[in-house]
Structure 1
Amino acid sequence: MFAFDHSWILVDEKKIDLAAAITMQGGLPVSGPIVFDRDIRTGQSSDLTYGVYKSGLDSEANMIMNIPFGVYMDNFPDEKNGLWGVLKKVYPGEVDIDSIREIYSNVERRYVRD
């Protein structure tokens, strides 16, 4: 099993996990981006296992945990408009990036353990 620290969100109990596509281990992907439990590159259901594998965050995850969410989203590499641009690509409806950025830029992350 390959374990890595990252963040994902749940919407209606379905995972949205863009971090799986670019991990902090040199940017190596473990899958395509996951949107509503599906790998959007393959169209297949995700086979990733989520949960806590080890205790605590590693140093890179701890550093990222302390970066404001909006800054993290803005500075995601290789995508126009950062991860906001990825959202625009994968969300089935219209997305106004400026409005979404304004609403969610000050969101605080929480470290949750089962």
Structure 2
Amino acid sequence: MKNHNEGEWQNRFKKDMAKMEDVYEPAIPEQYQLLNTLNEFKIKRKKAFIRELILFIATAFAILTSYIVFTFKMPPIFLWVQGLAFVFIPIILIAESRRRNKRDGVESNGF
């Protein structure tokens, strides 16, 4: 009797699993959808690379300028640079946070 119940349970379990597999059919994207997604990703990475390169060059230029100012002991120029940084850094931070908020609102996949 016990073997009969176990066999019946296994048969029902296998049928239920087959039904679940039949219900779930993953959508296979078309080739043009994959290529479009890949191209969008490449464009985003290229823009990010250019933005990071510009920031790197600007940072390197700022460091070089600071070194030159300290080397030649030009305090007025140093004060001007500090004043401009005091004005522009908050503006840059606000713009960057708005850009991130805009991106986070559209994309949720984290790329």
TM-score of the superposed pair, with normalisation by structure 2: 0.21
Q: Which has the higher contact order (CA 8 A, sep 6+)?
A: 1
More helix by share: 2
More strand by share: 1
TM-score of the superposed pair, with normalisation by structure 1: 0.20
